[in-house]
Amino acid sequence: MSQPTLTAIIGGTGLTQYPGLEIEREELIDTPLGAPSAPLIFASLHGQPVVFIARHGHPHKFPPNKINYRANMLALQQVGVTHIIAVNAVGGITPAMGAEAICIPDQIIDYTFGRDDTYFDGVFKPLDHVDFSYPYDGALSEKLFAAANSIEEKVQMGGVYAATQGPRLETVAEILRLEKDGCHVVGMTGMPEAVLARELSIPYACIALVVNPAAGKSEGVITMDDIYLALEHGVSKVQKIISAYLQQD
């Protein structure tokens, strides 16, 4: 018999609470690698069981470089999560990635450093080298794309997510380098989350919401006010895609 589906939604900046959930319970899960960022919210959304976690805590308190990603992902595995949809606010690098654009990336380049980014460290688990050629789960990404299409929400399928260290935003030269590297969007939380999901063998896909043009891609400075404005509009589009996904056959 196949395992029943239990979808986790990891909420990023602007999504520390998920509106519309029918909450059953909240549980602060303990893991051998410490506490996750926030209690897990067990809920139902469109009749489907889901688990929600606020990546940065609720209220938003952990910067991207201080999140205990290993505990977050382990907690999701411990409660039996079978699929993970990660929602990430990002800066847009390519012309198509203007504010409020949405991308379902298919590749990552990891520019982060000093993060606890593996379970296979010879301490928690024996050393191992997981295949990460295709960092996101193809089937789950395709289903999210189909869900977006079904409600006529424009989404770029495929793209390279640049994971930067933060918490500061990038310099113009750094963004030019990422562009030359082939990156489409830039965010601070895509890694090590994606690789930890892979190490735990949990299918993981990302919905990246552009909340600002990356450094040097628009006139003037990037302000948090602009980012929050784009989040306010964009997050509801992301939620609609997730709703359509959960209602797919």
Chain residues in the site for ligand HPA (CB under 6 A): 89-91, 164, 169-170, 186-188, 211-212, 214
Q: Which is nearer to ligand HPA, 140 or 162 (CB)?
A: 162
Nearest distance from C-beta of residue 15 to ligand HPA, angstroms: 13
Q: Which is nearer to ligand HPA, 110 or 170 (CB)?
A: 170
Closest CB to ligand HPA: residue number = 91
Nearest distance from C-beta of residue 237 to ligand HPA, angstroms: 16
Q: Which is nearer to ligand HPA, 38 or 89 (CB)?
A: 89
φ/ψ region of 80 (left if φ > 0, alpha if ψ in -120 to 50, else beta) reads left
Dihedral sign computed on CA atoms, order 202, 203, 209, 214: positive
Nearest distance from C-beta of residue 164 to ligand HPA, angstroms: 5
Nearest distance from C-beta of residue 91 to ligand HPA, angstroms: 2
Nearest distance from C-beta of residue 210 to ligand HPA, angstroms: 8
Nearest distance from C-beta of residue 183 to ligand HPA, angstroms: 11
Q: Which is nearer to ligand HPA, 137 or 170 (CB)?
A: 170
φ/ψ region of 222 (left if φ > 0, alpha if ψ in -120 to 50, else beta) reads beta
Q: Cis omega (within 30 of 0) on the bond before 59? A: yes
Residues paired with 9 in a beta bridge: 52, 85
CB atoms within 10 A of CB 92: 25
**Contact predicate 217/224, CB 8 Å:** no
Whole-angstrom Cα distance, residue 232 to residue 226?
10
Q: Which is nearer to ligand HPA, 91 or 105 (CB)?
A: 91
Q: Which is nearer to ligand HPA, 16 or 77 (CB)?
A: 16
Nearest distance from C-beta of residue 117 to ligand HPA, angstroms: 18
Strands 185-187 and 160-163: parallel
- Closest alpha carbon to 40 in 32, 52, 57: 52
**Residue-wise over 61-81: b if at least 16 C-beta within 10 A, else e?**
ebebeebbbbbbbbbbbeeeb
Phi/psi of residue 60, nearest 5 degrees:
-55, 110
DSSP state of 185: E
Q: Which is nearer to ligand HPA, 186 or 200 (CB)?
A: 186
